[in-house]
Structure 1
Amino acid sequence: MLSPKDRLNKVFNGEKVDRPPCICPGGMMNMVITDIMEDIGVGFPQAHMDAQMMADLAVAVYEKECFENYGVPFCMTVEAEEFGAKVDMGTNIYEPHVVEYAINSVQEWEMLSEINFQQGRSKVVLDAIKLLKSKESDIPVIGNLTGPISTASSIMEPVVFYKELRKNNSEAHKFVDFVTEQLIQFAKEQIVAGADIIAISDPSGTGEILGPKLFKEFAVKYINKIVDGIQNENIPTIVHICGQMKKVYHEVNKIKSGVLSFDSIVSMNEARKNLGDRLIMGNVSTYTIEFGEPDKIAELTQKCVKDGSNIISPACGLGMKSPIKNVRSMIKSLKKEI
């Protein structure tokens, strides 16, 4: 019987496995639900700011037989807050979100400070990874980054940011490059803390929002800079891109990540046809996980396997009111327990 870590490593290495792994990385792809928080007595928003609580929730997700990994953090606001944006830390129903931006234009990027990983929520994440790494060696620990475009558009007003990608193209590149350099350092700090895998989620860097040209010029370029920046660490990477892929498969295929992850709007069968032998992850509908029935979720899980998904995961972050029986149905389906 393969351990969760061995099974996932074999997939990354292109080796045969008994069945696809079932994971939920963290970050944008939050896996914590109310049922688990209530069961162990640890909740939001406190767990976003406390390393032990964060680690306890990540462990509970695995121990409650929801997913086969540990993953932190549980939101996409850590990096933006470290750059000076103000964040509403949310509740046990809704996730943290930016309420005040750090700068007003890409031309102000030099006002931003480098991230100090010895304080703030970046340190909470690093300490949580250390706690998770100390627990069990056969459970993969996934560290998470908010992608370059999503981080940049959380530091300043998104509509203005997207306009300035064209209007102030040179300064926009300097801004996103600065952000990317800090993300590379955050990834390296997570790896030192014990992360086995780095997942990068860039939901604001879609082909639909940017268009193929800017998607290639900004999203692909700077995601690849992160992947290249940590290649010497020999750590596998997962990149999640939201939105439809039809117009940008050619560009998506240039992303150097070991695994590409997509949301539920993307047909995994179509992705497989367009991406050849690339490793792909996903993409069980999070809407169905929250509002559907276990049998339907099991059916969607098996369809993902049939359509060529190498790793099964929810298509996006779970709704926190998703019933635990629904979340468990993915793994149960893969284990043929349903």
Structure 2
Amino acid sequence: MSLKNDLILKALRGENVERIPVWMMRQAGRYLPEYMKLREKYSFFERCQTPELTCEITLQPVDIVGVDAAILFSDILVVPQAMGMEVQLIESKGPVLPEPIHTEKDLQRLIVPDVQEKLGYVFNAIKLIKQELNNRVPLIGFAGAPWTLLCYMVQGKGSKTFDEAKVFCYTQPELAHRLLQMITDTTIAYLKAQISAGADLVQIFDSWGGLLSPQDFEEFSLKYIRQIVAAVKDDAPVIIFAKGAWHSLEEMAQTGANGLGIDWCIAAKEAREFAGNNVTLQGNFDPAKLLSPIPQLKKDVQQMLRDFGKERYIANLGHGILPNVPVDNARAFVDTVKEFSMV
């Protein structure tokens, strides 16, 4: 059966679209009252590891806000978990990995897992979501980029600067590259299995790519993203979102990815100049602007759409939606994109 709404896939293939497609990063989750009810009842990993709950949460924004794609409700840290690390997600505090990787001995605790064995719950959820979506919109699968996962695995918790992770890479590069390769191998198997289970496209989230200089981004991040894109792009379209790494848009466009997510710190015109015309751009509304009064919000969204134009473009935020965004404002963002005409 073909999809009733395949606007996002068309945009990623560079085909003509009748209107600009739209979805929002982190759209399944914390700003929705329906999600909060489930959060009160079930722990984070219960929500991730119970296919029925994952399915319900994944579908909420499609039903409530009207986005053009569902994105799997999960977390990038299920990969370190599958590799043998303990991951705790503490509500309103963020992730904690109590035994971080600092030495050769630490690295020996990790495995490149059989993804079916360790992450089977994700693939079961995808099958269920596809069934429930009933071809209404595409389903986006995802994984964290190896550099971003290394940040958490070495730092042991969230950070604004991830200094320890960077020092690890600079002082123990050989160990860092071995860890990055293990994460890469796991991620390739994981994304391929998501696609086999029914994901229509996948996104690689490099949330901390912008912490690296262009040279270090190439060395510790892009080198591994390139392997992932090469391995999965023939199975499904791939979007790379490396927040803050706009300096490397040209290099990212050359990986063979179909789409590049960008944040709000670069203008549409510059992003297009860097990326070229053979890749779809996705972004880049500042999530904080969703808290503007709705008339202003609509104006700002319309300006963004004019700046990017209709060709090879997917409207989105420049990072995940904030938990305090009113649902009406999220809906106004989506509706403004849907109603917009270039004429």
TM-score range for the pair, normalised by the shorter chain length: 0.7 to 0.9
Contact 2:115 2:186 in 1 (8 A): no
| Counterpart-to-counterpart distance in 2, 1:123 and 1:98 | 23
Residue by residue over 1:172-229, the C-alpha shift from the partner in whole angstroms, topping out at 9 and shown as x without a partner, is 22221111000000001101111000110011222xx221111112211111100111
In structure 1, what is the equivalent of residue 315 of structure 2? 312
Number of aligned residue pairs: give it.
Answer: 325
For the residues of structure 2 that align with 1:281 and 1:4, how far apart are their CA atoms? Answer: 21
Post-superposition Cα deviations, 1:143-193, rounded to whole Å, max 9, x if no partner, equal: 110111011122112433312323222332222111100000000110111
* Runs of 4+ with >6 A deviation: none
* CA distance in 2: counterparts of 1:151 and 1:298, whole angstroms: 35
Seen in structure 2, the aligned counterparts of structure 1 residues 257 and 101 have a Cα distance that, compared at 3 Å, is: farther
* Conservation of the 8 A alpha-carbon contact between 1:73 and 1:125: no
User: For structure 1, which segment, 147-156 or 296-305, has the greater mean C-alpha deviation from structure 2 after superposition?
Assistant: 296-305
Matches of 2:28 and 2:268, distance apart in 1: 21
Matches within 5 A, 1:14-29: 14-24=14-24, 29=26
Partner of 1:204: 208
Identical-pair percentage: 21
1:166-185 equivalence runs, <5 A: 166-185=170-189
Aligned to 1:141: 139
In structure 1, runs of 5+ residues without a counterpart are none
2:213 is paired with a residue whose SS is helix
Unaligned runs of 5+ in 2: 156-161
* Range that drifts further, 43-52 or 210-219: 43-52
Does the C-alpha gap of structure 1 residues 169 and 303 become closer, same or farther in structure 2, counting only changes over 3 Å? same
Aligned 8 A contact 2:27 2:61 in 1: no
Which residue does the alignment assign to 1:287? 288
Amino acid at match of 1:162: K
Q: CA distance change for structure 1 residues 162 and 170 in 2, over 3 Å: closer, same or farther?
A: same
Residue number in structure 2 paired with 1:152: 150
In the alignment, does 2:333 pair up with 1:330?
A: yes
CA distance 1:60–1:250, shift in 2 (3 Å): closer
| Equivalent position amino acid for 2:15 in 1 | E
* Equivalent residue number for residue 75 of structure 2: 75
SS state of the match for residue 185, structure 2?
helix
- Change in 2 beyond 3 A, CA 1:170/1:262: same
What code does the residue aligned with 2:176 have?
A: A
1:124 aligns with 2:127: no
Task: Give the AA of the match of 1:223.
Answer: I
Distance across 1 between alignment mates of 2:35 and 2:207: 29
Task: Name the CA shift for 1:38/1:8 in 2 (closer, same or farther; >3 Å).
Answer: closer
Partners of 2:79 and 2:296 lie apart in 1 by: 36
Structure 1 residue aligned with 2:227, among 221, 225, 228?
A: 225
RMSD value, Cα: 2.5
Following the alignment from structure 1 to structure 2, what is the Cα–Cα distance between the partners of residues 213 and 71?
Answer: 32
Instruction: Provide closer, same or farther for how the CA distance between residues 15 and 162 of structure 1 changes in structure 2, counting only shifts above 3 A.
Output: same
Query: How far off its partner does 1:42 sit?
Result: 2.7
Q: TM-score when scaled to structure 1?
A: 0.87
Greater alpha carbon shift after TM alignment, 247-256 vs 142-151: 247-256
Greater RCO structure (CA 8 Å; 6+ sep): 2
Task: Give TM-score scaled by structure 2 length.
Answer: 0.86
Question: Displacement, 1:109?
Answer: 2.8
The structural deviation recorded for 1:99 is 3.8
Q: Tell me: CA distance 1:251–1:101, structure 2 relative to 1, closer, same or farther (3 Å).
A: farther
Pairing 1:186–2:186 present: no
Note if 1:32 corresponds to 2:21: no
Q: What CA distance in whole angstroms lies between the structure 2 residues aligned with 1:228 and 1:315?
A: 25
Hey, what's the Cα distance between the residues in 1 that align with 2:85 and 2:324?
28
Preserved CA contact (<8 Å) 1:149 1:219? yes
